[in-house]
Amino acid sequence: FKKFKVLITSDPILIYPNFEKPLSLLTDASNIAIGAVLSQEHKPICYASRTLNEHELNYSTIEKELLTIVCATKYFRSYLFGRKFQILSDHKSLVWLSNIKEPNMNLQRWKIKLNEYDYQIKYLPGKENNVADALSRVKIEENLLGEDAISTRAT
């Protein structure tokens, strides 16, 4: 884990955000964890990930992917709230989130939570979302993203 932390905090170096330029939130979920990268112009600002709890492990794929977005927007709220940003996900059905007919209670609740943000979800093939994908596959005993989390920010 320490080697992983060194790798994600070294070249490309974490940058400070320029709020005059657009932000991107790259997200991914796996069967065991969720991960997110806040970036600008393809350079990372900060990372976050956490392991799924026993209940979340039973979620469907779309629920895990949307949970990742909800947790990441909450965690990076100070960067994202009041700003237009894009969310990049390798889960195509999230692009059509607003058109899902009869979403289950989790999806409905999370859609409402996301209404306070000005965002657009775009599809990003998994092979182009390497860092968020790697973060979503790290099993962490201590969680931060949402409940607790592993986060690395430029300081």
Question: How many domains does the chain fold into?
Answer: 1
Summarised one tens digit per residue, pLDDT across range 17-52 is 999 999 999 999 999 999 999 999 988 999 898 999
Domain of 53 in residue numbering reads as: 2-153
pLDDT for 12: 65
pTM across the whole model: 0.79
User: How far apart (Å, rounded) are the C-alpha atoms in residues 142 and 149?
Assistant: 7
Cβ count near 8 (within 10 Å): 18
- The pairing of strands 33-40 and 118-123 is unpaired
For residue 14, name the pLDDT band (cuts at 50, 70, 90).
Answer: confident
Summarised one tens digit per residue, pLDDT across range 67-91 is 999 999 999 999 999 999 999 998 8
Residue 94 has pLDDT above 90, yes or no: no
Output Rg (C-alpha) for the chain, integer angstroms.
15
**Domain CATH number, residue 56:** 3.30.420.10
DSSP bridge pairs for 150: 49
